[in-house]
Structure 1
């Protein structure tokens, strides 16, 4: 679900804001110059030659952040208007002095320039330039040319987010007239490096600088103490993800003109919040990820000009009551700290607040009734705390509120009826609390997202839910709802994309007329019976269908082939009686197929040429009545199980993302003999579970190519032959169960290479010879081998007659 995370979402929003602010302020700089005189022929020629250095690419990195003041993305490059024979002072992005005609401002931000920035660029002929903005282009990891020092009159320089790399040239410190400098780089990159000497010279020479923006620049070698020498005229300092380490001087808070200060990093960067003498003009303060001491001082209430305060830096204790003195505050975010105690009632004094985020703390006690005074709120986020009691009725006064997040608390009582009548409410998260009773009525309002999951709600799901015609996300899972008053009421919700009613006590038939807009339908762990509806239409958009743990019977509907985007199909633990649905093998996106614990029967084989199940990585056919050989044709084509690094980057959880919402997929797996419901499925998670069937024949060697497998369970079948040594190639394997078969021969020594293996069960077969030693095999007990009378060696009490040789009566015959 698209809610604020602990850090990434606010940073993303702030990034967009900074891009908007940069583009808007730059346009002000450029437009402040009149263009009544013709520019010189030499300068026009220099600009035209500069134009030829680049191509125009509208898909350059972060191009989507090129939005104007009206939140529209430009569809042209400014340099397209640059044509010979037309006064260059009238070209887009070019401004000239109204007396001399010299080019004095150049704003090429978001011009989609693509190419290497030449060190001998003709741009450096513009010696009268006072403002240069090259933000949000793609210069393909070029270095910032040292020739930039030739702009001796430059006051404003912005090269942010344009993929410059390497060392910031020391010559940049020669631009002593700079008033604003923006070198921001991508936050996930360290390509642009600002080393100590260059930074010291910058601090020393820029005596007039007011805005210094260095976010995303690698400043690992810079000692933060040098910041104390910055010009006293400084108004804005932005330092997101700079890799600074050490103690940042808190004298920064005493700068007489400082209005905006943003500092983000890791715990190895510290800054102590002062107990007094704050910079009185401070308007925006953001500290995230750094260590800023243990407590928020009472003196925070002295910042009477503060409009936005965001602190996410592991603060403890209570929020001082003086915070209620910040009468100009519009945004307050204290998420992801360790604040405890009660939320101060003085927050009710901040009547200009539009956004309040106190999530991810340890607040206890009730929600203060005084929050109902904040009638301008558009965001109220109190999730992930220990708040208890009922929702105060005063919150009914928040008539402007679109977003209310109260999830993961200990709130109780019945749901107040007024909460569904707030006229602008769009997203309501009340999940993971202790709300009880029934829902009597849903009123018509703009709700697009409603999450009441993991509470103690009961009774019927009222048919008035059909009033929520804008709803795209509905999660009522893990409650005690017993039935649907009118099953087809969901057909009225034509915008519904995600519907989760799992883990309730719902009975009856699955509604036949589900919205065509559905991407996720999760009815797991209820008491639905009868046939699965057969009416999956052409163009069906379902991506996750979970009917696990009901009482469904009949056949698996063939119309599922119309759901070409289906990624997860789980009909396990039902009474479905059918043959193997080989017709599903053509679904190009299917990744998870669970048919376990039903009455499926017959052979498992492919009926088509070419790749089958090309993206499948979880297959569970256990506890059915399948017969014949293991599905060799399928195993040979399980390409998604053959490369553990196929997705690249860090493992992520499998999500179904729509335009408006995201949903994390879950899965029931058997591990160590017990069933577990994984609340998230990692994209690197691969398992095959074929136990409790009547498969026969040998285990194919090709199974050893499925190198990303985490689990393999072939137990309780009639498999014969040897354990293939190729299983030793499954180096990501964490559990292996081949028990209760008819396997013969030795345990391959190659299995010792399975260093991730934590569960091994080879019991109740006809294996012989010594048990391999070393690595994980030294951790397995007798239970892994019982019922194999021909095995010997540790951990069994039976020793072998010589190295690797079983007693003669159990030696394998040729």
Structure 2
């Protein structure tokens, strides 16, 4: 019996099956399907119109194929759809975000990694889908869609590699602060904040990427829940607020490199470095000495291209997991720290 004759089938997962060619026509017969997953195959052609006949779909995932052309506006007819993932194809043309807002049950929308231009309208009606995941990476967006004002259940937000300009609007901070766990805003043209928060008010945040924008002013302080914090490649200035390093026992990845930050590296670093895996403060204007670091889990330390002086701290010999240590282009003094040769995993050393 072929799959096309299984007319009562409700779930079909064809992940990584090396399926080639256009979407199989027999799928049109499976009108009872609630979940269709054709992930990581070699599908080509356009999204077929007959797909809209599968009116009971709640989940549609066509991720990582080679589909091209438009996203048909008729996709808004799939009124039970909760999960739509079209990531990693070659879909192109302009698409209005409005067509997805008609899907009242939609909680996951992933359009990243295509060649789309997503355009939005000013939303005044708060009767919208309540998204948990909104993935619009590399979608040529020029502004934050104001529908975010009404999203108080959002958990994952991917707007990196877009063309978003100007300042983050004040309302951007006002919602989703209970649930949001990951925010990716890297590689845009953001310059700052309409209202600079003392501490970013997303209390469950784990990952925040603001790298490679044009942010100016003082360093935004992430909440204590943050594990990964990246702001490399901006024009941020001022000192590192001690609260980022001294009170956050969760942080594992801290990258403040390629900014205009100054002052000294907070001396409370030893109490913080146990949790840290990666510390990158390179290409700034830090001065003073390097604090003692005793982080047993540290794998990378990059303090290069600053104005640091003094001795290489002997406490680094306790960082037994260290693989990369970059201290070049500073004003370090003393004799060569030969004791670094005892570090069992050290692979890259630049003094």
Q: What is the TM-score of this pair, normalised by structure 1?
A: 0.40
Q: Deviations over 1:514-561 (max 9, x none)?
A: 32322211001111112112x224x54322110111111111111111
1:393-792 to structure 2, matched below 5 A, reads 393-421=146-174, 422=176, 423-438=178-193, 440-441=196-197, 442-443=200-201, 445-462=203-220, 465=221, 468-484=223-239, 486-487=241-242, 489-514=244-269, 515-516=272-273, 517-533=275-291, 535-537=292-294, 540-595=296-351
Summarize the Cα distance change of 1:347–1:373 in structure 2 as closer, same or farther, 3 Å threshold: farther
- C-alpha displacement of 1:461: 1.2
Q: Deviations over 1:383-412 (max 9, x none)?
A: 2x2422210222121111111111111122
Summarize the Cα distance change of 1:273–1:320 in structure 2 as closer, same or farther, 3 Å threshold: farther
- C-alpha displacement of 1:261: 2.2
SS of aligned partner of 1:299:
helix
- C-alpha displacement of 1:440: 0.4
- C-alpha displacement of 1:449: 1.3
The answer as to whether partners of 2:157 and 2:182 remain within 8 angstroms in 1 is yes
- C-alpha displacement of 1:454: 0.7
Residues in 2 aligned to 1:298 and 1:373: alpha-carbon distance in whole angstroms: 28
The answer as to whether partners of 1:288 and 1:311 remain within 8 angstroms in 2 is yes
1:352 aligns with 2:139: no
Summarize the Cα distance change of 1:420–1:532 in structure 2 as closer, same or farther, 3 Å threshold: same
Summarize the Cα distance change of 1:265–1:525 in structure 2 as closer, same or farther, 3 Å threshold: same
Summarize the Cα distance change of 1:386–1:402 in structure 2 as closer, same or farther, 3 Å threshold: closer
Summarize the Cα distance change of 1:375–1:387 in structure 2 as closer, same or farther, 3 Å threshold: same
Summarize the Cα distance change of 1:565–1:265 in structure 2 as closer, same or farther, 3 Å threshold: closer
- The alignment yields a C-alpha RMSD, in angstroms, of 2.4
Residues in 2 aligned to 1:404 and 1:509: alpha-carbon distance in whole angstroms: 33
Question: Which residue of 1 is the match for residue 83 of structure 2?
Answer: 331
Summarize the Cα distance change of 1:424–1:409 in structure 2 as closer, same or farther, 3 Å threshold: same
1:298 aligns with 2:298: no
Question: Which residue of 2 is the match for residue 342 of structure 1?
Answer: 94
1:241-252 to structure 2, matched below 5 A, reads 252=4
Paired residues, number:
340
Work out which of the two has the higher radius of gyration on C-alpha atoms and give 1 or 2: 1
Q: Deviations over 1:225-279 (max 9, x none)?
A: xxxx43xxx6xxxxxxxxxxxxxxxxx3x64223222224476733435499542
Residues in 1 aligned to 2:103 and 2:325: alpha-carbon distance in whole angstroms: 50
Q: Deviations over 1:12-64 (max 9, x none)?
A: xxxxxxxxxxxxxxxxxxxxxxxxxxxxxxxxxxxxxxxxxxxxxxxxxxxxx
Residues in 2 aligned to 1:458 and 1:372: alpha-carbon distance in whole angstroms: 33
Residues in 2 aligned to 1:309 and 1:363: alpha-carbon distance in whole angstroms: 19
Question: Which residue of 1 is the match for residue 117 of structure 2?
Answer: 364
SS of aligned partner of 2:287:
strand
Question: Which residue of 2 is the match for residue 282 of structure 1?
Answer: 33
The answer as to whether partners of 1:532 and 1:557 remain within 8 angstroms in 2 is yes
Residues in 1 aligned to 2:127 and 2:16: alpha-carbon distance in whole angstroms: 35
Residues in 2 aligned to 1:269 and 1:390: alpha-carbon distance in whole angstroms: 37
1:160-179 to structure 2, matched below 5 A, reads none
The answer as to whether partners of 1:410 and 1:434 remain within 8 angstroms in 2 is yes
Residues in 2 aligned to 1:317 and 1:372: alpha-carbon distance in whole angstroms: 31
Q: Deviations over 1:349-406 (max 9, x none)?
A: 11212221111101114356669755432211122x2422210222121111111111
Q: Deviations over 1:80-119 (max 9, x none)?
A: xxxxxxxxxxxxxxxxxxxxxxxxxxxxxxxxxxxxxxxx
Q: Deviations over 1:410-445 (max 9, x none)?
A: 122211233333221111111111111246002252
Question: Which residue of 2 is the match for residue 321 of structure 1?
Answer: 73
The answer as to whether partners of 1:366 and 1:390 remain within 8 angstroms in 2 is no
Residues in 2 aligned to 1:331 and 1:550: alpha-carbon distance in whole angstroms: 47
Question: Which residue of 1 is the match for residue 7 of structure 2?
Answer: 256
Residues in 1 aligned to 2:60 and 2:19: alpha-carbon distance in whole angstroms: 22
The answer as to whether partners of 1:504 and 1:525 remain within 8 angstroms in 2 is yes
SS of aligned partner of 1:309:
strand
Summarize the Cα distance change of 1:570–1:375 in structure 2 as closer, same or farther, 3 Å threshold: same
Q: Deviations over 1:268-297 (max 9, x none)?
A: 733435499542112111123334331112
| Higher RCO (C-alpha under 8 Å, 6+ residues apart) | 2
Aligned with residue 311 of structure 1, among 62, 67, 72: 62
Q: Deviations over 1:185-229 (max 9, x none)?
A: xxxxxxxxxxxxxxxxxxxxxxxxxxxxxxxxxxxxxxxxxxxx4
